[in-house]
Each structure stands twice: as structure tokens, then as C-alpha cells.
Amino acid sequence: MSVKRITLATILTALSGLCWPAVDAGKSPTEATDIGATLYQQRCAGCHDGPVARAPHKIVFPMLGPEYILDALNNGIMQAQASGLSEQQKIALAEHLGDRALTSQDAAATLYCANEKPAVVANGSSNTVLSWGMGPTNSRAIDAKTARLKAADVNNLKLKWAFAYPGATRARSQPIVSRGEVFVGSQNGTVFALDLASGCAHWTFSADSEVRHALSLSHASEDAPERLYFGDFDGAVYAIDRSSGKLVWKSAVNDHPDTTITGSPKLHGDTLYVPLSSREWASAANPAYPCCTFRGGVVALNIADGSRRWVAYSVDKAQPTGSKNTLGVNLMAPSGAPVWNSPTIDVERNRLYIGTGENYSSPASATSDAVMAIDLDDGKILWTHQALANDAWNMACFVGGLRGNCPTENGPDLDIGASVILHRGSSGRDVLLVGQKSGHVFALDPDQEGKLLWKTKIGNGGFVGGVHWGMTAMADSLYASIADSDFGLDEVWKGTPGLYSVDIASGDVNWYTAAQDRCPKDSRPACDQGLSAAITSIPGVVFAGAFDGFLRAYRQSDGNILWEYPTNQSFTSVSGAPAHGGAIESDGPVVVDGTLLVNSGYSFGSRMPGNVLLAFTVDGK
């Protein structure tokens, strides 16, 4: 049985016989304006609006996607209950619950290259961007030789090609590049090897579920050729051959059914370090769910075969607290403290660093919203610096009326979602640079067990505020993007979204460029000027994308905007398939061999959906 089927069965267990009456042949749901919505209200809402034990709350389904749901109706745990539905009705229901159309299986949606090898890059460059943070320290800084794009030429950037992800409503897997090829994942689990020059595909590989992060590429060795490593939404990790896309091995990294992989696994030596995040924050919305037992952390895998070397959890194993929720269900703790970011490797000190999120249940632990240092060899936790205590939250705190599993702390949900940066400036001193959803950026001393060196508040913060996905450091400056979105919940909210430059030695703000509000008033909360996606620097320039779809280049010395491009529009893709941009969220831009690459489109959380990867070069050449 596949990992996909096992995970799906676990998530949808015990729905049979409870939630799906037989279809009344005398009344067809096709008479309704929205077939899927009508079917849901008639046949599903009684369970999935809660509370029915072990029936996932409807908020989970958009994360699973319509392919998962249709598979459950046709082949999985809901097959008997769906037996009276036509295939068209099942598709309509799956698309309604999954919040998007089913992925087209038409191979014509992807244009394959005529040649097996990528086009030769101008001047024979073999530059690479091999991982999420552009290297082990997660600085997200690309040197001049790799970028081959000068600050003076940025204002001449023009669109060269657009690639449409088939059937997608979000594009969040940051591309990596090697020898003229772009490797990127997608919402339906397809991994693409694209030609950097043209955007055509050399090969594709199908994972079981969404690939949400950047892949990692190994160098060839005597024991193995180059391989690509990544995880999927179901918590499986894959190794595939770089040249062909064929599967080498696949490994399940955690036995918790809600495990998912959001942060990019980080490759170092012969070990792949995989961060563990979770969708249990959503499962807890159902008050009949026994909350909560997920444990964040990092798993170390042998890259030869995917076997586990060690696992370091961010919290101890959950135990009954002795308390019950409002439905009398036993509560468990500690839980949560997921790792949403890609681990940072410190070769000199033989350790890695991660940032953690909030706890899912009470009482909160000392390792939530924290930076943790972990030994590379055995997974021993060396030290922890907690940035914010007493943060426990799950979706039960937001879903109206279903507060049975909301922790007593009730937030504030201020994760450290961005990767920690290990940086050495002109002083020659190493520091750890950290950003948090609270709106704070701070520096820690790696040689004094994470001692706080300075802490500066640059944003108002909030559950969709502060620093989200990634900062960049170059020379003696830290650059941080601030989202500070009200998400449409507070009409009087006044955040400070935009881009900040902070002095690494002191924590003083060098400059701030406010995000420009270009959103029509009737477009909120989907459109927002906040900067949430990870940002990237090249010498003299910082690239940052916004919720409203604008991609901008900022001058490093003063924050002036050098160039901007509105990605929230329709494009003609290289295959002819429909392509449209939307919000820029989660992953950040990549610059290599004179090409700027960026994804556009993000459907989760009411943002503007899209399905496009864009490539820009000077004058579009």
C-alpha cells in the first residue's frame, strides 16, 4: 500500500457509516447551482462541520486537495458511502472540498524539450543554487559570480518565459538551478526538470502529494551520481536521479498521521536533515479530536538508502494532562513546536539550528517559539533559546463555536518560521540572526549557548504579521521583510509592512521602505501589500515579493525601489496552458546565470491563487 493511501486512510478513518446517507435517486444534486456545495451541505456538513469523533474538520480538506478526496471516494475509506454518487458528483464534491479544480492529467499541459540536455548557458557557466537558503548557512545571499546580474542592469529586467503548473492554485516550491536546469516541485506532487533558457521540461517525477519546498541537489561521488532530495505533504522523503528523475528511494520519516514537510530538507555530507511540521493545528479544530500529540523536530537520514540515523524532537512525548475539553475528550501535552524552516548547518561547530513554532495544547513547553542547537552526529539538543514563552494555539481558537481544543493560552501563534541565518560580517564574529512573527529580529551568540546579543522590534507582528518565511544577510546588514497583514479581521489594524535593513552588529535599523498599497479596496483580504515570502539578495540589490503579487528590487544602500513587476496577471506559458500569477508567498526569488526566477500564486488563507513560475532576464534575452 502506498504512503499516500496509508496517510489518507489514517486521516479519514472512521468516517464510514457515519457521515454519508445513500443518495436519493429522486432528487439530483445537479439541479443545484453549485453541485459540490449542495452535496456537502446535504451529506457531509453534519460530520465535518463537527463535532463527530475522528471526522476531520472541513478546514483540513483544502490542504489535502481534490485528488486526495476523490481517491477516498473511489478507492479509499469513503468508497462505500460514495457508491450512490455519479463520478461527476464525486468530482464536484472533491473540487468543492479541495478548493480547486482537479489537476489535469493531459500530458500536453507540459511542453517537453526536443533535446535531452539543457541548452548551453551563455559563456559556459555552470553556476548552481542547490538549496533553499542558497547554502548551509541560509543567508539567502547570492554572490556576483553565481547571479551574473548587476545592480545597474536590474531596471532592464523583462519577462523571458512563463511556466504553468498544471492544475495548481498555488506555486510555493522555490526553484533550484544547476548547469542550465531548473528543478522545482508543485502542488499536485509533480517535480519538474526545466530548461533554464526556455522553460521546457526535460523530465517529470510524480510524488504522492504536494511538494511545498525547495529541493536539495547532491554532488556526484564515487558511490552515487547526483541526486535530488525532497519531501511531500504526506511526510514522505524521496531521492531521485538528477539526470532522469527516476526514483532511488522513498522513506517515511515520522509515524504521526499529521506529519508534513514544509521546510526544505538540508543536505550535508552523507546525511539529509529533514524538518518536521504538521497539520495537527487544523485537526484540532474538531473538538472530538484528542488534542494533541504531534512532536516537531528534525530527522537525520542516510542519503544512500533513506534509513534513519537519529531524530531530535522539539518536545517530549505527549502524556494525558488530566484535563478534558468541553466534549469530555482527554487532553494531551506537550505537543507541537513544529519546524517550518530549513535547518541551518554550522560546519565549524558541528551542529545545526532550527526555529520552532507554537505548542498545540496546554501547558506550553519551554521549546516553543525557540531556536534550538542540535548536534549533527547524534541529534543531541545542545541548547535552546526561547524567544517567547507561553504560546499555545490551534485552529479551534479560530473556528466559530468549536473551541473545545483551544489551549488556555489561546496564542498568540508567533512562530519562528524563517530559517535561522548563521552569518559572519566584517567583525569576523559569527552570529545567529533570527526573525519572528512577533515582528522582532534578534541576534544570538552560537559560542555562548544562544546568548541574546540584541533584539529589535521592526513590525507590529501577529499571526499573519512580522517575519514569516525568510530573511537575507549580506556584508554587515540583515534584510527582513515584514508582512503585518490584518487578514481582513481588523479594520483599524495598523501594521508596518515593508522591507527593513538592520545593522548586524548593533541591531539598529539602517532604513525602512514601506510596502506600497496598490490593492483595490474591494479586493481585501485576498490582496494585501505585506511582504511575507522569503527574500533574496545579490550584491547591491534585495528582491522581495508581496501578497499583492508585485515583485520588487530594492537598492541595498538605501531601500529605494529600482524595479518592480506585477505578477498578478495572465501569461502565455511555454506550453500554451493557462497561466496566471497571484500572491507571492512562502518561497523567494532565485538569481542565477543572469536569470531571475520567482513563483506567483498562493491560494491558502484567502490569498490570490496562481500557478506560474516566471523567468526574467535583461531585456528578456
CB contact set of 132 (below 8 Å; sequence gap of 6+):
138, 174, 213, 214, 216, 263, 264, 266, 342, 419, 470, 534
Q: Can you tell me the distance from the alpha carbon of 253 to that of 301, in angstroms, rounded to the nearest whole number? A: 9
Q: What is the pLDDT of residues 70-83, one digit of tens each?
A: 867 776 556 656 76
The pLDDT of residue 30 is 40
SS (H, E, C) 346-396: ECCCCEEEEECCCECCCCCCCCCCEEEEEECCCCCEEEEEECCCCCECCHH
**pLDDT number for residue 10:** 32
DSSP string, 263-282: SPPEEETTEEEEEEEESHHH
pLDDT at site 543: 98
Q: Which domains does the chain have, with CATH numbers?
A: 3-98 (1.10.760), 178-389 (2.140.10.10)
Cell of 160: 523571458
Distance CA 402, CA 60 (A): 14
Instruction: Give the model confidence (pLDDT) of 542-569 as tens digits.
Output: 999 999 999 999 999 999 999 999 999 9
pLDDT for the residue 490:
53
User: Which residues of the chain are modeled with pLDDT < 70?
Assistant: 1-33, 46-57, 59-60, 63-64, 68, 71, 75-81, 83, 103-108, 119-126, 400-403, 486-493, 605
